[in-house]
Structure 1
Amino acid sequence: MFKLFKKKLLFFWGILIVMLSQSLPLVNGTYVNASSVTSFVGVIDYVSGYSVRVYQNNGTVMQPTTKMLLDGTTWKVFDTSIVNGIEYYNLGGNQWVQSKFIKNFVAPKWDGQSYLTIGYEAGYGIAVYKDAGSSSVVPGKTLKNGTTWKVLSQKNVNGTPWYQLGSNQWVNGKYTLFGKVSSSSVKLSVPYHSQYVPVFAPWGCASTAMAMLVEYEGPTVDLRYAQDHLPMYPTPGGQKGNVYTGVGFGYVINSTALTKYAQNWNTNVRNITGSSVNTIKNLVLSGHPVLYYGFSSYQKLPGDQRRNHCKVIVGYDNGNFLIHDPLYYSSSDRSGSGGTRSIGYYNGYDNGAIYWSSTSKLTNEYAGSAISIK
């Protein structure tokens, strides 16, 4: 009877030892208690642009795998084990990383002011990357041209700014306009130019408005040269019709072609077509004038809905936008001194060379085509 009891006791002790050995990690060949850890979100903290190794626990040792995790990426930590004197964090399943390469992830907070607008090409978007300077894109995620995003942080990689929009979400600043909206009212130092004086180009609003935009932070534009060399139809996106005589006129140069043309003077010009009126407001408030396509004072409205005239937004205050309209002889020309006299009625857009437009009026006029400058 005693022998039978002894056998049962040894059997239960054997089961207990096996159970303990399966639940405890090894240290130098001996299983010990794992340090307890509350699950948390961690970020790989290594060297920018490089990765750390993922291991598998095979029951006795940590076996290195071919999987690597990029510096700066975030992962949830579920558990911890110490094997051969080295602490590892479990990232789910049988995936372990040395704890010295993971730190608590503290999500950056939006400062309430920093905005980013995508300025690439009309109808397109830009890729989102997993880290600044990385070639690894976030699958299926692109940011549409003209959209605005809140910026959490910034890194410079080889002289190029990268902006963080979320966890493991970065964009190349080359295709964006960045700024901080630090006030609710602004008037930017944008020069006024007429498309009549000193160069008489009644159909040359695009080149004239472009000159205003470029000269905000760039070289002086020779208006005669700009009018003479404006890309024309059949060049893709080019203007149709003579800028001086109007012969054959059909439409002005589009935003894509005008952006490329303006970059001959200033490489910081960006196509922001697709931007909302609110985005334009934030751009202006953060120091970026905006050239947009709208109505001229000579159009027969409401019948003619073509946005065939270029103007520049240079300020904002209390729901109103300050606009430079080149279709006047002088910056001092007032409302009613332009197209109204020729067409015989006021179409609502003969407002003078420099005027304030309400948000509702701009919303009615603006149809999405615009360019700006960094």
Structure 2
Amino acid sequence: MKKILKNKILVLTILSLGFFSTSCEDDTETFTATPADPITLSELPITIIELDASNPGNPAVTFNWNEADFGQPASENYSVVLSSDEAFTNPIIATSVVGTTSATLSVNELNSSSGAAGLAPFEFSTLYARIVTSIGTQNGIPVNSNTINFEVQPYFNYVFEDFYLVGNGTSANWENNNNNPPLFRDAENNNLYTYTGFFTKGGGGTDDGRFKILEVRGQWQPQWGIPAPEGSDAIEASGEIAGNPETQDNDPGRFGVLADGFYTFTINFSSDLYSLTPYNTAGATDFTSMTLQGTALGSDTAFTQSSFDTHLWYITSVNLQPGDLQIATNAGTTWAGSTSFSGVATEGGESIPVIVQDDYEVWFSDLTGDYIMIPLNL
């Protein structure tokens, strides 16, 4: 029995040594992907495309290319990238696909991408396209294809966001659909908004003089305020912003003023910062009437003067055609700016361009010259 046991131990020892010897050998195979040669994006059979807004779901264009080779079997990623210039200064990813060599954009998708790339509506412009090939979930080893171009006439795509005041420091009080005044969007930085006007402290308590920002009239979300929750939201002249649902699930705290007066509220959605500073109205003209006029109108249309802030003027709805606009005052002066949808008007300035027909809501501040024209149906 002892001899048999010794033999068993010897066999097990030999097998174990063989196992460890085998397991110590490095038999790992290394897979190395190499940059693929640039694929070829085929020219389009039709190079002039007029987009029709009445059929947004129809296919507009199909891109075709050959399969990329990264030297290893893997699923390749392909992104259709569009730009208004051949240098792809402002590239727009229209769509991305995996493991296939074609992609189709609908009329609406091509229209949206064209607008995002900066193409003007209702006129033919050149759009450049290329395919960016990559590999893996991190889109590694990106390689550009050749570039093709074609002509596109987009219909209008309103790409801007509008924001509205709500709160007992404003004319709307805590009502989300009470002719809430909009913020004025910067014409050059679409993430920067300001509002210069009157704010009230009301009863003077901690909860008075407060306000938030809404994205849609009639809806409480999305809404913007400060990170601190209500009850802990001290009134500060500047700080960070927070939004539900953009940055958190719960509602943000409130902005606020310490006293009745005119203030400039600035909010930057790029830096997520705000500021609220007193505005000196000394020397400001007290106008008694404002009129919208120009070739974009069938007839001159009078503004309504806000009873809460006499320097704020609005038209709730007016039909505008492509053309130009000016704002005429009871003092015999005209004000206008050079940018569509929003901007700053100056006395004797250029005409405000209207580039697409629609019913518009128009707001104007005679303190700063800020104007905004919000299409109601686009």
TM-score (norm 1): 0.25
Query: TM-score, length-normalised on structure 2?
Result: 0.25
Larger strand proportion of the pair: 2
